Amino acid sequence: MAALALSWRYRPDSGGWANSMPRDGIAVQVWFFPKKTPRFPPLKLAMPRSPATTLEGAPDTPEYRIRGRVNGHDVEV
Using the predicted structure, report yes or no on whether residue 21 has a pLDDT greater than 80. Answer: yes
Band of residue 39 on the pLDDT scale cut at 50, 70, 90: confident
pLDDT above 90 as % of the chain: 35
> Which string of DSSP letters, residue by residue, matches the chain?
-EEEEESS-----TT-GGGG--TT--EEEEEE--SSS--SPBP-----SS-SEEETTEEEEEE---EEEETTEEEE-
Find the domain containing 24 and state its range.
2-76
pLDDT given for residue 1 in this prediction: 83
Using the predicted structure, report yes or no on whether residue 35 has a pLDDT greater than 80. Answer: no
Kindly state the average pLDDT of the residues 44-69. Answer: 88
CA distance 38 to 50: 25
CA distances from 36 to 5, 6, 41, 50, 73 (A): 26, 29, 14, 29, 8
Count of structural domains within the chain: 1
For the whole model, what pTM was predicted?
0.75
